[in-house]
Chain A
Amino acid sequence: MRSSIIISSCLVFLTYLVSCEGSYFDEGVVYLESNRERQIRNLYDNGMMPDIERMSVALNESLPIFETLKELPTAGNLQQAQAKIKALNIQWEALEVYRFGSVKRKYEVIQFWPYNDVKARLDAMDPSAVNFAYIESQGSAVKGLLLNSFLLYSSSLTDLQEHPQYLAYVLVNLESCIAEVTKLKEHWKQEEQNFKEANSTGLDQSQDQQLNIYVNLLESIKLVKLEEALKVGDILKLEAPYGDYSIELIQMNLKSIQKSFNGDFSSADFPYGFDDYLRGINYGDLSETINEKMIECIEKSNKIQSLNQTILEDKEQVEGLVESVTELLVLIKVDAANVLGTTITFTDNDGD
């Protein structure tokens, strides 16, 4: 009697499992872990390392332009240097999606914002400050690519001709950036195995960290890169007001999130990304919604030609972009984190 009750109960339970919507016997742990591994491997091999390498090359190749400007500060050379520093800053924004916790400091010394323009100008005037060792010893606020952009765009040609130390400072600062990018490259080469093997879940695991980077970057775009300037109508609160290319930096951030989310790197044979992972755990709809929202954000940002001008003349357009970025942020921070069981930011408290 007892055994027949047990057998019947087991049969009822099994029938329930088999008849429920979606099979209980489809994907296993090995499948999930290998998917995570594919995603992380793709990010590392085809995204992060090639992008860092390209950045390193671009920085090295830019050196002669700044050396020429230092030797010969003409309007043409200045224009060329301005265009180059703008391109470098935009290119660097593509690397923001690889800003994992362990390299936070390494990132800050290459590009930091808001920089301390007053101290930087004073330093640039001080001959003893214009050397590699001094720059290396300084905090992030007085060095990096955005600071170079400030010095080149905010100074007139006459200023630069009268104060050649400015250009010397720019050059040493750039050399420092080159050295830091090399260190960053070396760091990731050494960390390759650890990074790729962190294919589980948890705050120290690569996939969770990747999602947290999206959240941080989107929050930064919304709160710091757009709303700070928007609420007071002050373009100096923008990231690159002097060259007026703040919107291009944001565009690059958004495009790099999109590329990383889809694993869509040019050299990838199997572009496995977060979108595929979500589809693999039956959240394909969410993956599509996120992708649609990303496209919407990029399109809205593309419509803004000059953020300086739009902030002052067409606030609604910027507010529209902020709204879309917020919606994208919610989709990642709330919806995606919920289905993935991801912990957003570090909260070391117990739960029950």
Chain B
Amino acid sequence: MSWELRLLLRTMTAINQRLFNRTTAITPLVFYRVVFGFLMMASQIRFYLKGWVVDCFFGSNFQFKYQFFEWVQPLQSISQMKLLVLLCAFFAFCIALGFMYRLTSVLFLISFTYLELIEKAWYLNHYYFVSLVAFLLCLMPAHRYFSIDSWLWPKIKQFWVPVWTITSLKVMMSLVYFFAAIAKINPDWMLANQPLKIWLTAQTELPILNVLFSPKLSAALFSYGGFFYDFTIPFLLWNKKTRPYAFVLVVFFHVMTAVLFQIGMFPWIMLMGSLIFVSHEEWAKIFKGNFPFKIEGNLAIKTKTSFVLKGVLALFFLLQIALPLRKYFYNENHLWTERNYRFAWHVMLMEKNGYTEFTVIDSITGRKWKEVPKKRLTEVQNKQMSFQPDMIWEYALYLERIYREEKNVKDPIVYVYNRVSLNGRSSQELVPADMDLTKIKNHTELYNNLVPLKEER
């Protein structure tokens, strides 16, 4: 047996023993479950109260679909969708309370992910993160303590969980930070300090740094600060000695981003999510004599995890590593093309604006129609589409269908006039104006034919 294989086997055995055969106190997982549940409940109620059910699912007759999920459609009526959002909030509430946890955690995952998959224009990194965490929670016995389930059925009460449960949530958080840091290693962020220079020039009234320094200097400090924060914070949180300082940083960083930018629940999810790193002993110290968690008995129990579950987790994390790395197979400015941009923790990396206008031509008669997207799309859809090539293509195919079905045009040709500006650069063409979008066969062909960014840094 070669030494590489031996090393691999030894590592696998060590991982197996440390993660799957050993146990640890359930406390961090319980805290995480409760906080996650309440946050998600608040998030869904907020979505409902802001009127986003109508805006997102019924604002137009067309929805941008994720690749392979074109079949996901909204329910028929507004009231059904509203009910679903409220049900999703209810499932989150049940997760927080640990009520019918095994069922409600799965129902939350399904309902939340379904809502997320309906409209690509509303993609947000934190929605994706919530689905991933919800998936992991479905696999975990997070309801075995401090829950209605353990009160109703005392037999399930358990003070310990396998180490993999808490570790996998920690790894998930760490991956987000790590890939968010890696994504910041680009000339715009590192050399031009964009888009922070634009944003901090706009946001003059809030941060102390801006009062002390010029926005340019603040942008440089924020850019490098943001990069070093993302890069180091997982390590600082993992390390017992640095953890208290890391939490100060976590609170400062996420409160700052929440105040500065309109990013909704994201800072709160990451801030509260960091609680998974706090151990049982540390919680006990924080609460001193008033700690409500009375963990009794031996926690160092040997346990076993099924082979299927191990396989699922291995696949899950391999995917989480592979998805953010896909972009490195292409030698292009991915901020510009946005190929493989989603599901890769590209967080707050660009200020991008665009303008699109479509022309539909009847190839037989030569008759032309101008199509202005705002007539058929919502503001959010129009804005997001204006600088994302896959959405421009998708909308062009929609127009092709509309003109075939409604205007009886047998062979429509669709062109787009498109101008995009990225991180303070002059606007330029992204999708070639002379490319018939109906003839594009797949995403690869689309991305390979985009106009390269002219002003590289």
Contact = CB atoms under 8 A, between A and B. Distances in A.
A351 B124 contact: yes
B214 A339 contact: no
Contacts of A32: 201, 204, 215
A351 B263 contact: yes
B192 to A, nearest CB: 9
Nearest to B209: A29
B216 A33 contact: no
Interface string B376-401: 00011001000000000000000000
Interface stretch (B72-80, B317-325, B346-354): B346-354
B306 to A, nearest CB: 35
B266 A350 contact: yes
Contact of B353 (A23, A334, A352): A334
Nearest to A27: B214
A331 B428 CA distance: 10
Given A25-B214, A27-B214, A341-B202, A352 B351 contact: no
Given A24-B216, A200-B205, A329-B355, A335 B266 contact: no
What's the interface size class on A, roughly?
35 or more
A128 interface: no
B439 interface: no
Given A24-B216, A339-B424, A352-B264, A347 B204 contact: no
B143 interface: no
Contacts of B217: 17, 24-25
B122 A281 contact: no
Interface in B190-214: 191, 195, 198-199, 201-205, 210-211, 213-214
Contacts of B426: 286, 335
Contacts of B261: 351
A333 interface: yes
Given A347-B380, A352-B263, A29 B427 contact: no
B213 A338 contact: no
A326 interface: yes
Interface of A: 13, 17, 20, 22-29, 32-33, 200-201, 223, 227, 231, 281, 283, 286, 326, 329-331, 333-335, 337-342, 344-352
Interface of B: 50, 52, 55, 122, 124-126, 191, 195, 198-199, 201-205, 210-211, 213-217, 220, 224, 261-266, 347-348, 351-355, 357, 369-370, 372, 379-380, 383, 417, 419-427
14 contacts: A22-B216, A27-B215, A29-B210, A32-B215, A33-B204, A200-B203, A333-B353, A338-B422, A339-B198, A340-B201, A344-B353, A348-B52, A349-B380, A352-B126
